[in-house]
Amino acid sequence: MKIVAAKKILKANDQLAAENRARLDAAGVFCLNVVGSPGSGKTTLLEALFAQLKDRLKPAVIEGDIAGSIDSERMERIGVPVVQINTEGACHLDANMIASALKEIELKGIDLLAIENVGNLVCTAGYDLGERLRIVVLSTSEGDDKARKYPAIFQGSHAMLITKTDLLPHTDFDLERIAADFKRLAPEGAVFQVSAVRGDGIAEAADWLADKCRGN
Ligand SMILES: Nc1nc2c(ncn2[C@@H]2O[C@H](COP(=O)(O)OP(=O)(O)OP(=O)(O)O)[C@@H](O)[C@H]2O)c(=O)[nH]1
Ligand SMILES: [Mg+2]
């Protein structure tokens, strides 16, 4: 019985996600779902990408957190329109939450809607939000075995952004190992190596994202 119920929830989520996607497509808004562990660098990466893209794209953000509005305040500080979702314990966003948040966003004039999911490599994998693209953020301090241990989240992602490359000299993180594991799980997936604090690799990742927004 429980398995059937879980399937029903996911089916209902898929339906709502399709509606979100249709709504965003109709408004000409490209939607990006950013997933990764707590502290992997998702917000810092978005800040760096938005700075790089400021003359090319007008972004908005939905921030998903269990509690608080720290990341939304960061977005407000850089002038990006933002809606905060507090999941109050849930370890992932779902399409219904996004549908509610969309009611609070003026989509006119927005090119890119980035959704920063709740920091989690497990639960976020099962929920389509209505995005066109999903990127998984993995920092060099988390270990290069994560694609083997949490394959689902890597499998469904269009790109893996390896963050905090400035810390590489202080870790045993093997870039080749994680890239090979990701390629096995997502053969078409792109891989970027970035340091958001130093700016390394941000231009390449931003160009790729801008291309995707243009439908390339
Ligand atoms: N050295 C280094 N630190 C970074 C980099 N990117 C982010 N950080 C630091 O990592 C910590 C977490 O960064 P956030 O961007 O808040 O991480 P997050 O994934 O958004 O975290 P949650 O939203 O809590 O899941 C902060 O102290 C950042 O300054 C980087 O490229 N290099
Ligand atoms: Mg964050």
As given in the structure block, the two tokens for residue 16 are: 């709502």
Q: What is the pTM of this model?
A: 0.96
The CATH code of the domain that includes 96 is 3.40.50.300
pLDDT band, very low/low/confident/very high, at 11 (cuts 50, 70, 90): confident
- Which pLDDT value is given to residue 5? 72
39 CA distance to ligand 1 middle (Å): 5
What amino acid is encoded at 195 in this protein? S
| CA torsion, ordered 200, 203, 206, 210, to nearest 10 deg | -170
Is residue 197 lining ligand 1, measured as CB closer than 6 Å?
yes
Closest CA to 135 of 6, 21, 24, 34: 34
Residue nearest to atom 6 of ligand 1 (CA): 41
Query: CA-CA distance, 44 to 91, in Å (whole number)?
Result: 20
Q: Residue 111 pLDDT more than 70? A: yes
Residue nearest to atom 8 of ligand 1 (CA): 41
pLDDT (mean) for 74-86: 97
Q: Check if the beta carbon of residue 141 is closer than 8 Å to that of residue 168.
A: no
Is residue 42 lining ligand 1, measured as CB closer than 6 Å?
yes
pLDDT (mean) for 114-134: 97
* Domain extent for 136: 2-213
Is residue 41 lining ligand 1, measured as CB closer than 6 Å?
yes
pLDDT (mean) for 38-59: 98
What is the biggest distance separating any 2 CA atoms in the chain, rounded to whole angstroms? 53
What amino acid is encoded at 182 in this protein? F
Structural domains of the chain, count: 1
As given in the structure block, the two tokens for residue 75 are: 């977005």
Query: CA-CA distance, 194 to 11, in Å (whole number)?
Result: 36
Q: Residue 97 pLDDT more than 80? A: yes
Residue-wise pLDDT tens digits, 180-205: 999 999 999 999 999 999 999 999 99
